[in-house]
Amino acid sequence: MFLSVMMLSAGSGCGGGTTDKCAGLTGLCQNEGERKCRSDNLAVITCQLNQDGCLTWTVTSNCGDLQQCTGTGEQTACVCQHACDPQDATRCSGTVIETCAPNSAGCRDWQAGEDCADSELICAMVDGAAQCAEACTSDCDTEGATRCHDDAIETCTASGDCLNWVPTSACTAEHQVCDDASGTALCVCDTGYQDNDSDGTCTPDCSAVTCGTNAHCEDTTGTAACTCDAGNQDNDGDGDCSPDCANAGLTCGANAHCDDASGTAACVCDTGYQDNDS
């Protein structure tokens, strides 16, 4: 009797339940193959099975130097955050000439090149390019001033004891040019184009549009289009503007009123009336 009780007691800790081997693990996910950016935006992580058969977020692509992870789902990827522009531009960093060139991740960064001090020279910006020079030579007078050079904006920038013109932006959008007539260089639309909605796109202005009678062109919205003059309408959308009821000069008889919904102002009978002998 005592032995039976002991055996039963020894087995009393066994149960028929199961334990989830993945429970309690960090970084669990649900949809295998799903992609997203890691919280620090420095890697692409994918929902994959680990060695224990648990779905966890796993780093599948580390972003390189000057890259950040952007996008969601299939569009998730490491994208360059370029440190300089355009490629092959140069600048002075002390006595060293630096060139804008792709790094190991393909992102443009300033790369150290020739040290002018090795030749007992200084680095100076001349005509927008860094070069070793005997002495400091300025080509502009006021730091921060701007000018147009071809289709680029150049800014008068301090380099050591010198002030030199340095390219700071380019007016490269379609139909865009650089204009410094106001004393400040700006990217503006070329003659015959406008960007009145300030979306950065230059489209034809009203100078290229010919409107019909009783109409004029408007491009304040960013798109040039013909609009009826005040007191006129194009209710039928045929492109012809004609006087609306307020300006058509019509005097309608009894039980009639003016209606211009058809595109032409005309007297029509009120509801419940007809003019069958017209």
Alpha-carbon gap, residue 85 to 62, rounded angstroms: 24
**What's the average model confidence in pLDDT over 49-67?**
94
The pTM score is 0.41
Alpha carbon distance 232, 218 (integer Å): 15
Token couple for 14 = 């066994």
Q: What is the pLDDT of residues 30-43, one digit of tens each?
A: 999 999 999 999 99
Identify whether the C-beta of residue 37 lies closer than 8 Å to the C-beta of residue 70.
Answer: yes
Tens of pLDDT, residues 109-127: 999 999 999 998 989 888 8
Tell me which residue of 38, 20, 62 sits closest to 47, measured CA to CA: 38
Cα–Cα distance measured from residue 127 to residue 139, given in angstroms and rounded to the nearest whole number: 8
Reading the block at residue 5, the tokens are 């009780």
* Residues sharing a CB contact under 8 Å with residue 270, sequence separation 6 or more, in sequence order: 255, 256, 257
Question: What pLDDT score was predicted for residue 278?
Answer: 61
Pairwise pLDDT comparison (49 vs 23), residue with the higher score: 49
Q: Which tokens in the block code for residue 147? A: 């000018």
Answer for the pair 108, 102: CB distance below 8 angstroms, yes or no. yes
pLDDT of 244 above 70: yes
Percent of the chain with pLDDT over 90: 65
pLDDT digits (tens, 9 = 90+) for 100-109: 999 999 999 9
- DSSP conformation class of 28: B
- Interior angle at CA 64, CA 60 and CA 66, nearest 5: 140
